Structure 1
Amino acid sequence: MTYFQAIILGIFQGISEFLPISSSGHLVVLQRIFGIKEGNLFFTEMLHFGTLISIFVVFFNDIIKIIVEFFKMIGQGIKNKKFKITNIYQKMAILIIVGSIPTAIIGLLFQDTFEKLYSSLLSISVAFIITGFILWIVDKKSRGHKKVKNMSYVDSLVIGTFQGIAIIPGISRSGSTIAGGLFRGLDRNLATEYSFLLALPATFGAALLGIKDVVETGSEVYFSLPLITGVIISAIVGIVSLRLLIKLLQNKKLHYFSYYLWALGIFLLIYQLF
C-alpha cells in the first residue's frame, strides 16, 4: 500500500461514509469500472475506525453525556432496585440500544445474502436509484418536529431496521437512517444526530468482526505509515463531510444527492448494455 493509495482511499472513505451516496456501492463501481483496488482487508477495516473518530469529534459532548448518564442510570437502578429514565441523555442511550437490535438481527441473518449483491452491478444500479427517490421524498415531504423526549421505542426500531437494510450495496446507511427518522416525524437535527449515534455500535461491531475475519483468514495484519495516514485522512475528511451533511439537511437540500444518484444509477444501467 503506497501513500498515494492510502490518501485516495482515506478521502473516499471519509466522503462516502457520511454523505448519503452509499460507500459500499461506490466501492464496487470504482473497482469494476476504473480498476481501483481498495487494498488489503485489514486496511479496509481500519478506515472504518477513522470515520468512527469523525463521529466522536462532531458529537463529542453528546456522546460523553450519553455514556455518563447511562452508567449513572444503571448505578441508581442497582442501588434503588428500580431503573428510571430521568433525562434525555439516558433516554437517548436506551434508544440507541433498542435501535441497534434490528440492525444486528438483519446483519447476522442476511449477511451472506446481501454480500452476493456485491457482485451484481445491476442490483447496485437499481439501489442507487431507489436511494435517490428515498432522499427526494423525505426532503420534500417531511415536516417532523419530534424531540428526544417524544421519541418512542417503535421509532428507534424502525430506524434501526432501515440501518439493517442499508447493508445492501447501493443503499446509503446515513441516507436510510435519516430518512427513517424523518418518516417517523423526528425533526431534522434529531434525525441526523440519531442516525450517526446509532452508527457507532453498528460500525464498531462490524469493524471488530471484520478484523476477526482478517485474522482467521490469515490476511496481512500490520500497522504501517501509509495505513496510519489513510486512517487520519478518513477521519479529517469524515468530519468535513459530516458537518456538510448536517448543514445541507438543515437547509432542506438533501435532495441534491438524489439527482446525482439517479444520474449514476441510469448511467450504470446503460453502461451494462455495452
Structure 2
Amino acid sequence: MTLLQAVILGIFQGIAEFLPISSSGHLVLLENIFKINEGEIFFTVMLHFGTLISILIVYFKDICKIVVSFFQIIGKLFSREKVRLDNESKVLTVMLIVGTIATGLIYIVFGDFFESLYSSLVAVGIALIVTGFLLMISERTNSGRKTAKNMTIVDAIIVGLFQGFAIIPGVSRAGSTIVGGLFRGFDKTLATKFSFLMAIPAIGGASLIELLKVLFGDQSVGFSLPLLVGVILSTVTGVFAIRILIRVLERGKLYYFSYYVWAIGGIIILTQFL
C-alpha cells in the first residue's frame, strides 16, 4: 500500500460512507484498480473505523445521551421497575437496539451470499443503479412529520432491514437507511440522525468482526504511515460528508446523487462486457 493509494482510498471512504453513493462499491472498484489483495483487508477495516469516529464527532451530544439512557433502561430492568420511554433519547436507544437486531438477522441469513458479490464488478454496478432508483423514488415521496418520540418498533425494524441489505456492495448504507426512514414517514432530521446513529453498531460490529479475522488469521498486519494517513483522511472527510448530506436533505436534493451512481454503475457494467 503506497501513500498515494492510502490518500485516495481514505478520501473516498470518508465521502462515500456518508453520501449515498456506496463506500463498499467504490472501495471494491478502487481495490480492483490498485490491485489490492486480501492481505491488505486490515487497511479497509481501519478506514471504516475512521468513518465511525466521524459519526462520534458530529453526533457526540446525542450519543452521550443515548449511552446514559441505555444504562438507565438496564438499571430499570434489573430492578424490575417499569421502563418508560418518556424522552427522545430513551426512544432512540430502544429503536437502535431493535433496528440493529434486524440488521444482524439479515447479515446472519444472507451475509455469506452478499459478501460473495464483492468479487463481481457487474454485481456492484447493478447495485449502484438500484441505489440510484431508491434515491430518486425517496425524493418523490412527501416528507413525513414523524419525530423520534413517535417512532414505532415497526419503523426500527424496517430501517434495520434496509441497512441489512446495504451489505450488498454498491448499495449505499446511508442512502438505504435514509430512504427507509423517509418511507416510514420520518421527517428529514430524524431520517438523517437515525441513519447515522444506526451506523455506529453496524460499522463498529462489522469492523470488529473483520479485525478479529485479520488479527487471529494467518495474515501479518502492522501499522504504517499510509494506514495512519488513510484513517485520518477518512475521519476528516467523513465529518464534512455528514454535514453536506444534512444540507442536501434539507434542500430536497437527495436525488442529485442518483445521476452519479447511475453513471458509475453503468460505466462499471459496460467495462466488464467490452
Q: TM-score range by the shorter chain?
A: over 0.9
Contact 1:74 1:83 in 2 (8 A): no
Counterparts in 2 of 1:107-146, with a 5 A limit?
107-146=107-146
Deviation of 1:205 (Å): 0.6
Tell me the residue number matched to 1:44: 44
Deviation of 1:240 (Å): 0.4
In structure 2, the CA distance between the partners of 1:178 and 1:261, relative to structure 1 (3 Å rule), is: same
In structure 2, the CA distance between the partners of 1:242 and 1:110, relative to structure 1 (3 Å rule), is: same
* Amino acid paired to 1:125: G
CA–CA distance in structure 2, aligned partners of residues 240 and 255 of structure 1: 19
Aligned residues: 273
Deviation of 1:244 (Å): 0.5
CA–CA distance in structure 2, aligned partners of residues 102 and 80 of structure 1: 26
Question: What is the CA RMSD across the aligned residues, in angstroms?
Answer: 1.6
Deviation of 1:36 (Å): 5.1
Tell me the residue number matched to 1:207: 207
Tell me the residue number matched to 1:182: 182
Contact 1:52 1:235 in 2 (8 A): yes
Structure 2, unaligned stretches of length 5 or more? none
Runs of 4+ in 1 over 3 A off after TM superposition: 76-80
Is 1:160 aligned with 2:175? Answer: no
Report percent identity of matched pairs: 52
* Amino acid paired to 1:172: S
Residues 173-212 of structure 1 deviation map (CA, whole Å, 9 limit, x = unaligned): 1000000000000000100100010110111110110011
Is 1:93 aligned with 2:93? Answer: yes
How high is the TM-score relative to the length of structure 2? 0.94
Deviation of 1:80 (Å): 5.5
CA–CA distance in structure 1, aligned partners of residues 70 and 31 of structure 2: 42
Contact 2:155 2:181 in 1 (8 A): yes
Deviation of 1:77 (Å): 4.1
CA–CA distance in structure 2, aligned partners of residues 35 and 215 of structure 1: 23
Tell me the residue number matched to 2:220: 220
Tell me the residue number matched to 1:83: 83
* Amino acid paired to 1:116: S
How high is the TM-score relative to the length of structure 1? 0.94
CA–CA distance in structure 2, aligned partners of residues 4 and 108 of structure 1: 36
Structure 1, unaligned stretches of length 5 or more? none
Contact 1:124 1:169 in 2 (8 A): yes
Tell me the residue number matched to 1:19: 19
Moved more, 136-145 or 89-98: 136-145
CA–CA distance in structure 2, aligned partners of residues 76 and 168 of structure 1: 38
Contact 1:142 1:183 in 2 (8 A): no
Counterparts in 2 of 1:60-71, with a 5 A limit?
60-71=60-71
Tell me the residue number matched to 1:169: 169
Contact 1:40 1:220 in 2 (8 A): no
Tell me the residue number matched to 2:265: 265
Task: For residue 42 of structure 2, give the secondary structure of its aligned residue in structure 1.
Answer: helix
Deviation of 1:99 (Å): 0.2
Residues 4-35 of structure 1 deviation map (CA, whole Å, 9 limit, x = unaligned): 22222211111111111111111222333x33
In structure 2, the CA distance between the partners of 1:5 and 1:270, relative to structure 1 (3 Å rule), is: closer
Contact 1:100 1:160 in 2 (8 A): yes
Deviation of 1:44 (Å): 1.4
Deviation of 1:262 (Å): 1.3
CA–CA distance in structure 1, aligned partners of residues 164 and 49 of structure 2: 19
